[in-house]
Amino acid sequence: METKNELYKYCLRLGDDALILGHRLSELCSKAPFLEEDLALTNISLDMIGRAQAFLKYASELSDNFITEDDIAYRRPENEYYNHLITEQPNGDFAHTIVRQFFVSVFEYHFFEALTKSKDKSLAAIASKTVKEVKYHMEHATDWVVRLGDGTEESHRRMQIAIEDLWMYTGEFFEMDYVDDILLSAGIAVDKSLIKEKWMKEIIKPLEEATLILPAYTHMQTGSKKGIHTECLGHILSEMQYLQRAYPDAKW
Amino acid sequence: MNISKIETIISEIPDPEIPVINIKELGILRNIECKDNHYTVTITPTYTACPAMSFIENEIRNKLLRVGITDVEVKTTYTPAWTTDWISERAKQKLKEYGIAPPMHSSCAMNFTTQKVTCPHCGSSDTKTISRFGSTACKSLLKCNICKEPFEQFKCH
């Protein structure tokens, strides 16, 4: 397969997005504001870790080395992770958790819907499962955006701050590099320029309903495609990789 | 041993989280093949992270081991993606009797907020959603406004 190396990297990116945000959300287990929300956020986390497993397993099959999805998940250094910067941002207050979920899940819904049409059968299969799950994540986040944005003065204030803080990480969703370009011309990857318009349209409506506004600034953070991350990722990895690093090949 | 006999044996495996229905009724068991006494059983997860998959795989091996079949490969497939449409009518009835509102057609997932779910306890359709996410990945949490009982619904998927 001519595009094998690019496809491997594409799988890492998709797997890492799910793995890192799944890990972030798992931090809320038993700490969410109330029981139902605890169930919701950890269910979303579980969906994501399952998705990470599927993409990283496929990556391990594409790799020339004899590695498993666990090796990929737990034994890479920080600069070999390719998750979007927004997925590694801290949970913060509930407003930050929700705004992050909102931006990510609306993007993921449209992205995976498009990926179901990929010529790569494995990617299309994982995407067709994922899109059904993400639909729930998106509705969950959208409901909260409206409820909190159009809620009390305090909830509105916090939501607006979260939007200001996280908006700068949304530009990365639509970046295309050589991996995307090569796979796009092979009919495998998604054309993210087409997703951008849908995403914008879909986030504006609930934000308006929630009386929230988009920030005035246009500067966007970037780096994850090259393995350049914010300070947050190192902290996640130190916890996530600890066991496999301290006790290589440890099994339950 | 012929395939239909194998199928009967494997079909006895209950879903670990909803033991009233088995893996065939739930649509997890997709295919069984046999070539030169090598058996390939294909299963599909309800959700990508369904924690029951490795349990089900072990159960399949155990069941077949008990009838002397050792050369077994259990494959997991994601395609076609599992849908609640594969749950048999009989299984839906069993879910209801077990206290879980069965899923409707998978397309109802498209308008979650407007769907009318019937209470499995009293049969009223005056119910409200407490949380989209329940005790397992495949269920939502609801409450009946008439009998006041909380209940779970198998999510349309």
A57 within domain boundaries: yes
Closest partner CB to B48 (pick from A37, A43, A47): A47
What domains lie within chain B, and their CATH numbers? 3-82 (3.30.300.130), 85-154 (no CATH)
- The number of C-beta contacts closer than 8 angstroms across A and B is 75
How far apart (Å, rounded) are the C-alpha atoms in residues A102 and A139? 9
Span B127-136, average pLDDT: 88
- A-chain CB neighbours of B137 within 8 Å are 43, 46-47
Per-residue pLDDT of chain A (252 residues; tens, 9 = 90+): 689 999 999 999 999 999 999 999 999 999 998 888 999 999 999 999 999 999 999 999 999 888 999 999 999 999 999 999 999 999 999 999 999 999 999 999 999 999 999 999 999 999 999 999 999 999 999 999 999 999 999 999 999 999 999 999 999 999 999 999 999 999 999 999 999 999 999 999 999 999 999 999 999 999 999 999 999 999 999 999 999 999 988 887
- Predicted local distance difference test score (pLDDT) of residue B108: 55
Pairing of strands B72-76, B38-43: parallel
Is the backbone of residue B27 left (phi > 0), alpha (psi -120 to 50) or beta?
left
Residue-wise pLDDT tens digits, A85-101? 999 999 999 999 999 99
Q: Is A165 exposed, middle or buried (0-12, 13-18, 19+ CB in 10 A)?
A: middle
- A-chain CB neighbours of B110 within 8 Å are 135
Residue B83: closest CA among B56, B113, B105, B53: B105
How far apart (Å, rounded) are the C-alpha atoms in residues A18 and A87? 8
Residue B78 touches partner A, C-beta closer than 8 Å: yes
3-state DSSP of B5-74: HHHHHHHCCECCCCCCCECCCCCCEEEEEEECCEEEEEECCCCCCCCCHHHHHHHHHHHHHHCCCCCEEE
A252 within domain boundaries: no
A251 within domain boundaries: no
User: In chain A, which residue's Cα lies nearest the Cα of B106?
Assistant: A132
- Predicted local distance difference test score (pLDDT) of residue B79: 82
Instruction: For residue B5, give how far its alpha carbon lies from the nearest alpha carbon of chain A (Å).
Output: 30
pLDDT band of residue B111 (cuts 50, 70, 90) is low
- Predicted local distance difference test score (pLDDT) of residue A192: 96
- Predicted local distance difference test score (pLDDT) of residue A107: 98
Domains of chain A: total: 1
Residue with the bigger pLDDT between A244 and B79: it is A244
Look at residue A113 and give its three-state secondary structure. helix
Chosen for mutation from A14, A128, A136 (greatest number of chain B CBs closer than 10 Å) is: A136
- B-chain CB neighbours of A49 within 8 Å are 49
Pairing of strands B150-154, B139-144: antiparallel
Distances in Å between the Cα of A56 and the Cα atoms of A9, A147, B55, B79 are 10, 36, 21, 17
Q: Could you give the angle at which helices A121-149 and A192-209 cross, rounded to 10 degrees? A: 20
A203 within domain boundaries: yes
CB contact under 8 A, A50 and B47: yes
What are the tokens at A176?
A: 């295309």
Q: Are A46 and A27 in contact (CB under 8 A)?
A: no
Look at residue B92 and give its three-state secondary structure. helix
Residues 4-43 (B) with a CB less than 8 A from some CB of A: none
Residue A215, domain extent: 4-246
Residue-wise pLDDT tens digits, B18-58? 899 999 999 999 999 999 999 999 999 988 888 888 899 99
- Predicted local distance difference test score (pLDDT) of residue A159: 98
A189 within domain boundaries: yes
Q: What CATH number does the domain containing A30 carry?
A: 1.20.1260.10
User: In chain B, which residue's Cα lies nearest the Cα of A35?
Assistant: B131
A36 within domain boundaries: yes
- B-chain CB neighbours of A101 within 8 Å are none
pLDDT over 70 (residue B106) = no
A86 within domain boundaries: yes
- Predicted local distance difference test score (pLDDT) of residue B48: 86
How far apart (Å, rounded) are the C-alpha atoms in residues B87 and B99? 16
Q: Are A26 and A59 in contact (CB under 8 A)?
A: no
Residue with the bigger pLDDT between B2 and A204: it is A204
- Predicted local distance difference test score (pLDDT) of residue B109: 54
How far apart (Å, rounded) are the C-alpha atoms in residues A133 and A105? 10
A25 within domain boundaries: yes
pLDDT over 90 (residue B1) = no
- Predicted local distance difference test score (pLDDT) of residue B135: 83
Secondary structure element (H or E) that encloses residue B76, with its range: strand B72-76
